Amino acid sequence: MSENKGILLYAEVTRDKYIHTVFFELAAKAFELSKKLENCEISALLITPPADMGLYKDGFKNSGIDKVYVFQDEKFKNYDTEIYSKIAVDLVNEIKPEIMLVGATAQGRDLAPRISSSLHTGLTADCTDLDINEKGRLAATRPTFGGQLMATILCKNFPQMATVRPKVFKPLAENVVRNTEIIYKTASDTITGMTSKVELIDFVKTIQNEINELDSAEIIIAGGRGIATEEGFNLLRQLAEKLGGTVAASRAVVDSGIASKDIQIGQTGKTVRPKLYIACGISGAIQHIVGMKDSEKIIAINVDENAPIFSVADLGIVADAYKILPEIINLCNS
Ligand SMILES: Cc1cc2nc3c(=O)[nH]c(=O)nc-3n(C[C@H](O)[C@H](O)[C@H](O)COP(=O)(O)OP(=O)(O)OC[C@H]3O[C@@H](n4cnc5c(N)ncnc54)[C@H](O)[C@@H]3O)c2cc1C
């Protein structure tokens, strides 16, 4: 039997000093998994520049976390792969979790493989589901062979590691209040002596804005091949601006070079759960639908009344998107 016990979650701090929403989604899943592991302890690793812990405390308390290990230092103002992974590895060696989960954000995708390779353990990246099998092992499911098959992967070593993209899991519907213990740690001497090999020069806002906004967007206006022109995507952007939303695309549009891969929705793109998803000129292939079907309300605009997208839509509009979008934008102006 392994001496490893409990679930450790990485609590990523965003540049606006919030805990990334994916952490609360992972916490909800960890809460479910812990029930199958004799209600094992759920802990979090927080690496942050000196901050008022009051900002974070309630979030942790209400998400069912038992312990938060906090590393605070001016050095942690900007993310650094080597320093952050060293801290995580030292903590894992100290508390020996059975499972470690990290959000598959840009930072998490960089950090998790570093941690797993230093610990000589396995990592299943971009999971779409997590469960505990009959032998009490983490069963991590993810698409494979370009999305044609779903594979459930077991990890031989400990901790069993997995990353999960934002919006794949839902945060807990109700607060699970725990008497969360905050444990302040100091980074090891190795960290004190470490200097970053990376010099951060500047953060430049690019199309990245749309990408980042997609994770938290409440309204998404998505375009497919039916509107895959510069003119079409300008209409989508205008509508997004009017409604306070952001623009996304189907793979057909990404493949045609009109949109960046980073704003692709679907099986091999992002999974989103906005309050409103407006699909324009998208046929509704299953690989697209898996990425947006949990949106609260879906409006589809398509010239073909038999387009499969209408089967998941709450409101279907059979129309030419190039003609109806300017009318909707005008309505928003009046
Ligand atoms: C392994 C694998 C993974 C994949 N992953 C993804 C993924 O992550 N995301 C994804 O999106 N796809 C993915 N695909 C591709 C997917 O199968 C579809 O090919 C793709 O979603 C089609 O994109 P589309 O709906 O924009 O284009 P089309 O299927 O060509 O549909 C265009 C639609 O626009 C309508 N239309 C045309 N003109 C107009 C107009 N003027 N106004 C209104 N409607 C109009 C048409 O009636 C049609 O329904 C994947 C495929 C595979 C095999």
Assess whether 169 and 31 both reside in one domain. Answer: yes
Which amino acid is it at 167? K
DSSP 326: H
Ligand 1 pocket test: which of 128, 214, 236, 251 has the largest number of ligand atoms within 8 Å of its C-beta?
251
CA angle (223, 229, 232) in 5-degree steps: 55
Return the closest-CA partner of residue 329 out of 236, 211, 224. Answer: 236
Assess whether 212 and 170 both reside in one domain. Answer: no
User: The domain that contains 71 carries what CATH number?
Assistant: 3.40.50.620
Assess whether 223 and 172 both reside in one domain. Answer: no
User: The domain that contains 235 carries what CATH number?
Assistant: 3.40.50.1220
Assess whether 173 and 215 both reside in one domain. Answer: no
Domain of residue 252 covers 208-333
Distance CA 188, CA 334 (A): 61
Q: Establish if 70 belongs to a structural domain.
A: yes
Q: Establish if 212 belongs to a structural domain.
A: yes
Distance (Å) from CA 171 to ligand 1 centroid? 30
Q: Establish if 12 belongs to a structural domain.
A: yes
Distance CA 14, CA 19 (A): 6
Return the closest-CA partner of residue 172 out of 315, 312, 34. Answer: 34
Domain count, the chain: 2
Assess whether 20 and 63 both reside in one domain. Answer: yes
Assess whether 121 and 266 both reside in one domain. Answer: no
Half-sphere exposure of 327 (CA within 13 A, CB side): 7
Q: Establish if 202 belongs to a structural domain.
A: no
SS3 156: coil
Nearest CA to ligand 1 atom 18: 285
Q: How far apart are the first and last CA of the chain?
A: 68
Assess whether 123 and 225 both reside in one domain. Answer: no
Q: Establish if 1 belongs to a structural domain.
A: no
Ligand 1 pocket test: which of 282, 298, 311 has the largest number of ligand atoms within 8 Å of its C-beta?
282
Distance CA 317, CA 311 (A): 12
Distance (Å) from CA 200 to ligand 1 centroid? 39
Q: Establish if 201 belongs to a structural domain.
A: no
Q: Establish if 298 belongs to a structural domain.
A: yes
Distance CA 224, CA 227 (A): 6
Q: Establish if 57 belongs to a structural domain.
A: yes
Assess whether 164 and 277 both reside in one domain. Answer: no
pTM: 0.70
Domain closes at, from 170, 193, 216:
193
Show pLDDT as tens, one digit a residue, over the chain (334 residues).
578 999 999 999 987 778 898 999 999 999 999 999 999 999 999 999 887 777 677 778 778 899 999 999 888 888 999 999 999 999 999 999 999 999 998 899 999 999 999 999 999 999 999 999 999 999 999 988 766 788 999 999 999 999 998 888 988 877 777 788 999 998 776 677 777 788 888 876 554 455 557 877 899 999 999 999 999 999 999 999 999 899 999 999 999 989 988 899 998 888 899 999 999 999 999 999 999 999 999 999 999 999 999 999 999 999 999 999 999 999 987 7
Assess whether 54 and 160 both reside in one domain. Answer: yes
Assess whether 237 and 311 both reside in one domain. Answer: yes
